[in-house]
Amino acid sequence: MENIKTMTMEWTGKSLILIDQRYLPLEEKYIECKNFQDVAVSIKDMVVRGAPAIGATAAFGFVLGAKEFINILDKKLFLKNLEKTKEILSKTRPTAVNLFWALNRMEKVLKENINNKTINEVTKLLEDEALKIAYEDIEINKKIGKNGEALLNDGDTVLTHCNAGALATVDYGTALGVIRAAVENGKNIKVYADETRPYLQGARLTVWELMKSGIKTTLISDNMAGWVMKQGKINAVIVGADRIAKNGDVANKIGTYSVAVLAKRHGIPFYVAAPLSTIDIETKNGDEIPIEERNSNEVRYCHKTRLVPEEVNVYNPAFDVTPNDLVTAIITEKKVIRSPYEKNILELFK
């Protein structure tokens, strides 16, 4: 399988090159991950972010771990080292379930082949699997886009929150993939993008992506969303997800819950676009989803500029959970599902 190169990542066969999303859109910098430790740091420090992108990145990190230990002759030691690799990668971001999905898929290939193949052969199979995950993600996103664009009418204006575009995936995007697909189908779609405090993924990443794609985009601060809805400027809200529970509760970037409440108040459909790998049927509801709390300085500072006194107390959860009764529909690569979510989610996996 050919190596992959997209806006988000490049696999060279020896290293993983990631666009450093912390510097966008003002600078386009790249980080080369030469070992799994580099990958772990890049995920934890948000060089790369977005659930599907995190999953694919972790898969390549697992491959780098295998390549690092490829000269070990003892298969038990090789397995032990890769168990440690998986453990380190698993601890980088607790909320995005795609991380664990991808690592479990890699581990399955490892365990199914380690007894009857050489370490070199197993490592090649792991690399092939990581590439499959990456290429599949692109195709899945395009299917999500095709399924979701039917929900949008020509002339609609969509509100987005955070970034669920090419930068949050291997390529194309989930929520932004729906918008791209609608535009590719000849529909005139406009976008309002929440800036998404405190990390500004909407302002820095979504706006940058959409402008590159020639899609008319207006940036607003998060606290403007309700007023923009009241003015009748929004026809639909589309967001991504980091984990969807079995009952349809949705964990996504902090602020998503507020947008969903506002959409409900104003009678605006609230859509979630996500691959099946983001649905965690082992998690019964949103109360069971672990919510990552990040460094307080992400709130105290905007890039390198301090906004408040250092000693001020800060609460900085990276995600919130939107209850399923606020979700109009979930757009997956298989189909669009609506309430009752638990029944319809389980049918997706049959």
| DSSP code string of 212-264 | HTT--EEEE-GGGHHHHHHTT--SEEEE--SEEETTS-EEEETTHHHHHHHHH
Superfamily of domain 147-348: Translation initiation factor eif-2b; domain 2 (3.40.50.10470)
pLDDT of residue 304: 86
Residues 146, 117: Cα–Cα separation, whole Å? 40
Structure tokens at 181: 């697909």
Candidates 242, 249, 280, 320; catalytic one? 242
Nearest C-alpha neighbor of 193 from the set 163, 156, 168: 163
Write down the residue that tokens 């079995």 correspond to: 246
9-141: which CATH architecture? Up-down Bundle (1.20)
**What are the pLDDT tens digits along the chain (350 aa)?**
789 999 999 999 999 999 999 999 999 999 999 999 999 999 999 999 999 999 999 999 999 999 999 888 899 999 999 999 999 999 999 999 999 999 999 999 999 999 999 999 999 999 999 999 999 999 999 999 999 999 999 999 999 999 999 999 999 999 999 999 999 999 999 999 999 999 999 999 999 999 999 999 999 999 999 999 999 999 999 999 999 999 999 999 999 999 999 999 999 999 999 999 999 999 999 999 999 999 999 999 988 899 999 999 999 999 999 999 999 999 999 999 999 999 999 999 99
pLDDT of residue 110: 97
pLDDT of residue 310: 94
Coil, helix or strand for 322?
strand
* Contact in structure between 205 and 25 (CB atoms under 8 Å): yes
- Tell me the Cα Rg of the chain: 20
Kindly report, as residue ranges, where domains of CATH 1.20.120.420 are found in the chain.
Answer: 9-141
Structure tokens at 108: 């399955």
Kindly report, as residue ranges, where domains of CATH 3.40.50.10470 are found in the chain.
Answer: 147-348
* 291: number of Cβ within 10 Å: 16
Amino acid at 148: G
Structure tokens at 2: 């050919």
* Contact in structure between 244 and 218 (CB atoms under 8 Å): no
Nearest C-alpha neighbor of 143 from the set 334, 345, 273, 348: 334
Residues 80, 202: Cα–Cα separation, whole Å? 40
pLDDT of residue 72: 85
Backbone angles phi, psi at 151, to 5 degrees: -80, -10
Q: Is position 171 annotated as part of the catalytic site?
A: no
pLDDT of residue 81: 95
